[in-house]
């Protein structure tokens, strides 16, 4: 059974208007999502809070236990001249004493605790966060993360 649909001029105009509204709404929403978020006045001095955790991978090969440690995420990004609060939570491993090379920052991460270091980066660059316990392959390393200052 075939149905024949007859559209009159008013229906065509209505459908055209509906289609135009849907297209314009979609374009407006897409445009709004591509705009950078407007920061409130004085937000430049707000502290940047960055989060990392410690992690561990283990495996067995030829009856030998293999393990490696890491920071997750491996890279965090901060803005130059804006105060930073770097929070590193200890998930695996008992202790991870670390240094942030080039920023003269030291600390130690303990399992089940969060270590917080506060600083204001003065220069743009890439700074290595290096665990001193896991510095080479014999100790499950290198355990290195990166702080990128823009």
pLDDT on residue 125: 94
- Looking at the DSSP assignment, which residues form a beta bridge with residue 88? 52, 115
The residue among 149 and 45 whose pLDDT is bigger is: 149
Q: Pick from 96, 148, 105, 150: which is nearest to 127 by CA?
A: 148
pLDDT on residue 41: 54
pLDDT on residue 8: 77
Which tens digits make up the pLDDT trace of 82-113? 999 999 998 877 788 999 999 989 999 988 99
Which tens digits make up the pLDDT trace of 26-83? 777 776 766 555 555 555 568 899 999 988 888 888 888 888 888 899 999 999 999 9
Residues listed for the chain? 150
pTM of the model: 0.65
pLDDT on residue 40: 56
CA 98 – CA 53 distance, rounded (Å) = 13
Q: Which long-range contacts (CB under 8 A, 24 or more apart) does 123-129 make?
A: 123/80, 123/149, 124/80, 124/149, 124/150, 125/149, 127/100, 127/101, 127/102, 127/103, 128/100, 128/101, 128/102, 129/52, 129/71, 129/98, 129/99, 129/100, 129/101
**53 touches 89 (CB < 8 A):** yes
Confidence of residue 5 (pLDDT cuts 50, 70, 90): low
pLDDT on residue 42: 53
pLDDT on residue 39: 52
CA 59 – CA 150 distance, rounded (Å) = 37
pLDDT on residue 94: 79
């Amino acid at each position: 059974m075939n149905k024949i649909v007859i559209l009159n001029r008013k229906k065509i105009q209505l459908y055209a208007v509906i289609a135009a509204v849907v297209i314009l709404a979609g374009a407006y929403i897409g445009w709004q999502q591509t705009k950078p978020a407007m920061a409130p006045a004085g937000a430049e001095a707000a502290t940047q809070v960055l989060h990392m955790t410690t992690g561990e991978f283990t495996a067995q090969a030829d009856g030998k236990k293999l393990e490696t440690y890491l920071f997750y995420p491996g890279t965090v990004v901060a803005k130059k001249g804006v105060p930073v609060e770097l929070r590193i939570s200890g998930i695996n491993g008992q202790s991870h004493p670390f240094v942030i090379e080039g920023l003269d920052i030291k600390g130690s991460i303990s399992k089940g605790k969060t270590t917080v270091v506060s600083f204001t980066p003065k220069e743009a660059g890439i700074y290595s966060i290096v665990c001193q316990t896991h510095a080479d392959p014999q100790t499950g390393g290198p355990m290195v993360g990166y702080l990128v200052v823009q």
